[in-house]
A and B are shown apart, each in its own frame.
Chain A
């Protein structure tokens, strides 16, 4: 049996993971392997960063309360040496343990992703975005990579004088593109800031075409949007290869968790899969919160969603061949 036989024997998902690891390795990312367990306290302190709040915990032989990893990024932030002047490129292929939203019981999920930590500049950010596009291209099928810029949203909220508690009321309406609800709430919360409120509604409901959204951002009233953030967004999109530029959309209803993320955030979709298959962004705020001086960005791929689609696609191909 040679390597080609082994590859042929792999499931469609295994083959994809194999190709993605090769893609990340070629880009200079090294695999970061970690223990299945982590101290419970790490997750308890950062519960709202996690996709599901419940954690499987157990007491270790020395009496320490431990947890089965519900997340990979927090462990990497905690365990990786903080080197803010260098760029550390890592990818991981790990199992995490989370509560399924459907059944409400714990399940083991395989998660593949990458992190870029340290001196993250626009070039590093572009590299991560390019790898996110490359990941979607490896999966195959029609894809969309949707970008947002969380500092722009934060700037508009600040211009309206919204408190953090008010952000929590506004964000669900932004995330669900509920314009009528957003208009009604902002007229109560920020009645004196109708210009900013109208601009936010336009931004959230704008079609995703990047050129159109950037034009809209540049038309904002004075002081509402930082021109440097628009320039960065434009430069990043322009820096992508043409094939990847075609799948980029901008959507400001994508907000992420503003307590952890900053700057560019993104998520990826594949036609036929009912939710995002990839999500990531810059999380310097999270780094700071955990006492690290490094900047960081990265993304994770939700393999459980892909498995069914790849199996169905493979079955379809076999059916056609037959």
Chain B
């Protein structure tokens, strides 16, 4: 075992939870537990290097080979469809991709449906499969206020507890797919680090099922 495993972790709560699982699976990195302002951490003992990156960038680091492995939400994978292996559902960061609308809303299928979302790919795929004509309004945040202000008829967004929706007078109309964090791997790196990657995925699977 002379090769390092390079792992991209999403900054924030999901990254902390992910590292806790990786530590239990034998890839402890004491440097990372006292991070300061650094973003790259190495454990020579466990031959692992971690990077903290923006959650939406994890898949890019992995697909482009800057990281061998990464942990990323299914929402981001579904939206950007990177060419990577999706080796394990870690069962953390659970939420749902949903269509939500004001309580009074009912789709009468007359005219184009206005959909506000950060996840334009998911929205297009969902309504495309239904044959529903839509107008996508791409927003970068606070999507919930779009129907209130008359900007859109519905929104497509991530719903965790539903509190934000309720507080803004919205309800879930349809669930598109469940979301959780996934262990992903660069396809080329996997060929050369297959044994270590498979062992890690196996240990993580045991840790999750403990």
A interface list, Cβ under 8 A from B: 142, 144, 146, 176-178, 180-181, 207-208, 249, 253, 269, 271, 273-276
Contact = CB atoms under 8 A, between A and B. Distances in A.
A208 B194 contact: yes
B191 A208 contact: yes
Interface residues on B, range: 20 to 34
B68 to A, nearest CB: 10
A207 B85 contact: no
A142 B198 contact: no
Given A176-B85, A176-B86, A177-B86, A275 B191 contact: no
30 contacts: A142-B192, A144-B191, A176-B84, A176-B85, A176-B86, A177-B85, A177-B87, A178-B87, A180-B89, A181-B86, A207-B194, A207-B195, A208-B191, A208-B194, A249-B191, A253-B85, A269-B188, A269-B191, A271-B192, A273-B65, A273-B188, A274-B63, A274-B65, A274-B66, A274-B186, A274-B189, A275-B65, A275-B187, A276-B187, A276-B188
B188 A274 contact: yes
Nearest to A102: B64
A146 B128 CA distance: 35
Contacts of B57: none
A146 B191 contact: yes
B88 interface: yes
Chain B CB within 10 A, most for which of A176, A180, A271: A176
A275 B86 contact: no
Main SS class of interface, A = loop
Contacts of B195: 207
A178 B188 CA distance: 16
Contacts of A253: 85
Interface string B74-87: 00000000011111
Nearest to B193: A271
A207 B198 contact: yes
A274 B195 CA distance: 18
Contacts of A207: 194-195, 198
Contacts of A178: 85-87
B89 A144 contact: no
Contacts of B86: 176-178, 181
A201 to B, nearest CB: 13
Nearest to B68: A274
A253 B195 CA distance: 17
A185 B188 CA distance: 26
Q: Which of B83, B86, B88 lies at the interface centre, i.e. has the most chain A CB atoms within 10 A of its CB?
A: B86
A31 B84 CA distance: 35
Contacts of B65: 273-275
Interface in B150-167: none
A273 B84 CA distance: 14
A224 to B, nearest CB: 24
Nearest to A184: B89
Contacts of B186: 274
A180 B88 contact: yes
Most chain B CB atoms below 10 A, which of A273, A275, A276: A275
A172 to B, nearest CB: 8
Contacts of A271: 192
Contacts of B198: 207
Contacts of B194: 207-208
A142 B191 CA distance: 11
Contacts of B89: 180
Most A CB within 10 A of own CB, among B64, B66, B87, B198? B87
Nearest to A253: B85
Nearest to B81: A172
Contacts of B191: 144, 146, 208, 249, 269
A275 B66 CA distance: 11
A184 to B, nearest CB: 10
A42 B198 CA distance: 43
A208 B195 CA distance: 10
Nearest to B184: A176
A275 B191 CA distance: 10
Contacts of A142: 192
Contacts of B187: 275-276
